[in-house]
């Protein structure tokens, strides 16, 4: 099994304005999901949120070159990204990582843009 290059981008929601979490969910459903579904070199992205604490994108790329190119491009504009604009601050973490494995459970994989 070959490990996959990953990237984690996390914002703090501690000082986010009221309504930011709903606005983030709307943004993912209406814009971001489609954008990343078509991104070359991306295997998948997961959007995670812990209410009042953090919002995060977890990316898994096909190769190091795709991850590195995305990381450089995103880092250059992170403060102006839609997530930063909705939250009111830049990410607190942009961290490359290694995805050791992904398992699809018996219930199958679902990828709705709206929870």
User: Domain containing 13 — which CATH number?
Assistant: 3.30.70.100
* Residue 6, pLDDT above cutoff 70: yes
109: in domain: no
Q: CA gyration radius for the chain?
A: 14
Overall number of domains in the chain: 1
Start-to-end Cα distance in the chain:
32
Q: What is the DSSP letter of 74?
A: H
Compute the C-alpha angle 111/39/60, nearest 5°: 65
User: Is the pLDDT confidence value at 1 over 60?
Assistant: no
11-37 mean pLDDT: 96
Residue 114 within a domain: no
Please, what is the average pLDDT of the chain?
94
Q: Is the pLDDT of residue 115 over 80?
A: no
Residue 47: closest CA among 63, 67, 25: 25
Report the distance separating Cα 28 and Cα 34, nearest Å. Answer: 8
Whether residue 98 has pLDDT greater than 60: yes
Q: What is the pTM of this model?
A: 0.91
């Amino acid at each position: 099994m070959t490990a996959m290059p990953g990237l984690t981008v996390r914002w703090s929601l501690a000082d986010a304005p009221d309504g930011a979490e709903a606005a983030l969910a709307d943004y993912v459903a209406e814009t971001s999901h489609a954008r990343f579904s078509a991104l070359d070199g991306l295997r998948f992205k997961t959007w995670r949120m812990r209410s009042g604490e953090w919002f995060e994108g977890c990316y898994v790329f096909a190769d190091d070159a795709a991850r590195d190119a995305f990381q450089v491009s995103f880092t250059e504009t992170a403060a102006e990204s839609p997530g930063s604009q909705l939250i009111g601050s830049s990410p607190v973490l942009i961290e490359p990582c290694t995805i050791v494995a992904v398992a699809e459970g018996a219930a199958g994989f679902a990828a709705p843009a709206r929870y």
